[in-house]
Amino acid sequence: MRAVDRGQRRASYQQARSRETKHALVQAAVALWRAHGYAGTTVADICRAAGVSKGLFYFHFPRKEDVLLEVGVLSTRTAQREVHALLEKPYEVSSVIESVLTGLERSMRRNPPELIVETILEGYRYEHRLLAGEAPADESLSYIFAELFERAQADGKLPGHVDTLRLAQATQSLVSEGARHWAAGVYGDRRFSDVVGGDIAALIAGWVRS
């Protein structure tokens, strides 16, 4: 039993170290991209900043672009956690969406536009690889507002005929395209949360009436 316990502890320790290394690589990459731009940062630069070897980098990320994908995944999960927290108390669908979009905008303002655009585009490329069977699916991923719409339907805030999964998917597309356009300056002085929030409100209203 003691040998088994030692083996389990060793495995847990190694998993924790692996997560820490992956996190350090992402942090180093984002810091360098903010300072020097995405195109001007190499894998070697990221490894030096994180204090790891190239071999360890490629163990976690087969390509530099996969770090971008991880940044997008982390952003999505942060937004999902906020949705979940907001649903722990009385809520309105519109107020949850507004709060989450405001948080996303606040996060995007910390990054250069190039990084936001590249992250969105890499997410699209990943979806294309999934459809072509060239990339493994991450079963832990879901759409930002999936939990909100499912809960809202259960609570009678959305009618039963609404396909909540498709609505969450369509809403995710609005968020992604909205982030790309916001970073490219298409919205001018208008807030990301106002423009995208309005688009999502119109989408929901259309689905409710259909």
Closest CA to 169 of 154, 194, 155, 150: 150
Nearest by Cα to 120 from 83, 165, 169, 75: 75
pLDDT of residue 134: 73
2-8 mean pLDDT: 47
pLDDT tens-digit map of 156-205: 999 999 999 999 999 999 999 999 999 999 999 999 999 999 999 999 99
Query: Which domains are delineated in the chain?
Result: 1-61 (1.10.10.60), 62-209 (1.10.357.10)
Its sign, for the CA torsion 89, 92, 98, 101, is positive
Determine the Cα–Cα distance for residues 87 and 83; give it in Å rounded to an integer. 6
Tell whether the torsion through CA atoms of 200, 201, 203 and 208 is positive or negative.
Answer: positive
Q: What is the pLDDT of residue 7?
A: 44
- The residue among 143 and 10 whose pLDDT is bigger is 143
In percent, the amount of the chain with pLDDT more than 70 equals: 89
What's this model's pTM, rounded to 2 decimal places? 0.86
- Which pLDDT score is estimated for 11? 42
Check residue 133 and give its pLDDT.
79
The confidence score (pLDDT) of residue 12 equals 45
Distance CA 97, CA 83 (A): 8
pLDDT interval class at 25 (50, 70, 90): very high
Using pLDDT thresholds of 50, 70 and 90, give the confidence band for residue 1: low
Can you give the pLDDT at residue 139? 58
Least confident of 8-12, 16-20, 192-196: 8-12
Q: Are 25 and 67 in contact (CB under 8 A)?
A: yes
pLDDT above 70 for 8:
no
Query: What pLDDT was estimated at residue 132?
Result: 80
The alpha carbon of residue 18 and the mean position of all alpha carbons in its chain are separated, in whole angstroms, by 21
Q: For the ranges 11-15, 90-94, 161-165, which has the lowest average pLDDT?
A: 11-15
* Euclidean distance between CA atoms 88 and 74, whole angstroms: 22
